[in-house]
Amino acid sequence: MVSERAKRIPPFIVMDVLERAKTLEAEGKPIIHLEIGEPDFPTPRRIINAGIAALRHEKTHYTHSLGILPLRQEIARYYSEKYNREIFPKQNIVTLGTSPALLLILSALLDPDDEVILANPGYACYPNFVEYLGGKPVFVDVYEEDGFQLRAEAIEKKLSTRSKAIMINSPSNPTGNLLKPSVLEAIASMKPYIISDEIYHGLVYGEKEHSILEFTDHAFVLNGFSKLYAMTGWRLGYIIAPPIFVRPIQKLQQNLFICANSFVQWAGVAALKEQHPEILEMVKIYDERRKFMIQRLREIGFRIAVEPTGAFYVFANAGCFHTNSYQFAFELLERTCVAVAPGIDFGSNGEGYLRFSYANSLDHIELAMERLEKYLK
């Protein structure tokens, strides 16, 4: 019999959209993918070369469960230099991507019925991870008129004796918005641990992103290489943890994953240590797409109260077209061959919205907007 845990976990709806889109593509339909959050650029050449060199030097065996020391040193240097906050290699745990990293953090932090404060809307998998481990997600609604900012007073109303962590994500998936420094400072002053997902750092347009470590050391940082370095398939992430949690997380890593891939870790060293002009160009192109998509979505009739300035998403209010974002997303897929993510995937307060990813070429985005405009008119 299938376990109750497996029965209860909900699907990641954006993957259901992607898989239906792939089926339609196999039938010959000209699908434009605006649903998935994956860079459409190649991994920078120096990173690829470092991975190839590691393979040629037979870096293909188990490593230390915390990760190779050169990578942990580069993570510490990178964060120390970028955010002016001293970080030590002994705080860092290298992981097989950020999803395993989050699983490790929550496993080390939560006992049954412990609570985690989450933004609504927020990344779809956060509450699923919490519930999988026996915890309880507690949601704080955020609103488009407010730039989807978490408000300290709203969080404080949700705190209880069971509150173990506050989860933040800036720049955010799905909204693309950044939390203001004043908001981060207020959250950092609260008693629970902060878990800060910083995977979209570096993908920021006209603003500056801030690490939670600039405001407190009572926090876990969750980051990786998938987004900024276009390394989704390499599966490489890391945790910066409070020292008392390093050994517990290490033991979990030893049992669940052993270690991250050896040769991939050496590619990670090159990612952090070397200069990559491709990334500067990538960010410039993302910004061009962002501006174009926002303009066209508004012209079509979608509402965007506050323009997103990070990641590669536009979370657009589609309430004037449809009240059921799930049905609407699949209707658009079937009728226009444009794949988008339904807002309900990201929480109850995401209903009425669609998430559009601009991790696709400007030509494809332009064609997608033309199809949507023609159909919706």
Per-residue pLDDT band at 234 (split at 50, 70, 90): very high
Please give the pLDDT value at position 338. 98
Please report which confidence band the pLDDT of residue 69 belongs to, taking 50, 70 and 90 as the band edges.
Answer: very high
pLDDT in tens, 170-207: 999 999 999 999 999 999 999 999 999 999 999 999 99
- Alpha-carbon distance 213 to 240, whole Å? 9
Residues of the chain with CATH 3.40.640.10: 59-273
- List, in order, residues 6 or more apart from 122 with CB less than 8 Å away: 167, 169, 172, 173, 174, 346, 347
CATH number of 59-273: 3.40.640.10
pLDDT in the model for residue 106: 98
Element containing residue 222 per DSSP (H, E): strand 219-224
Question: In Å, how far from its chain's centre is CA 163?
Answer: 23
Q: Bridge partners of 119? A: 140
Confidence of residue 258 (pLDDT cuts 50, 70, 90): very high
CATH fold of 4-43+277-376, please?
A: Aspartate Aminotransferase, domain 1 (3.90.1150)
Residues forming CATH 3.90.1150.10 domain(s) in the chain: 4-43+277-376
- How many percent of the chain have pLDDT more than 90? 97
pLDDT value at position 100?
97
- The per-residue pLDDT for 199 is 98
Burial label, 3 (beta-carbon count in 10 A; 0-12, 13-18, 19+): exposed
The kind and range of the H/E element at 194 are: strand 193-197
Task: Tell which residue, 260, 256, 337, has the closest CA to residue 30.
Answer: 337
Amino acid found at 195: I
- Smallest Cα–Cα separation from 170: which of 133, 233, 215, 236? 215
Which pLDDT band, with edges at 50, 70 and 90, does 327 fall under?
Answer: very high
Report the distance separating Cα 338 and Cα 355, nearest Å. Answer: 12
Rounded-to-integer distance, Cα 11 and Cα 103, Å = 17
Confidence of residue 62 (pLDDT cuts 50, 70, 90): very high
Neighbours of 36 (CB within 10 A): 17
- In this prediction, residue 201 carries a pLDDT of 98
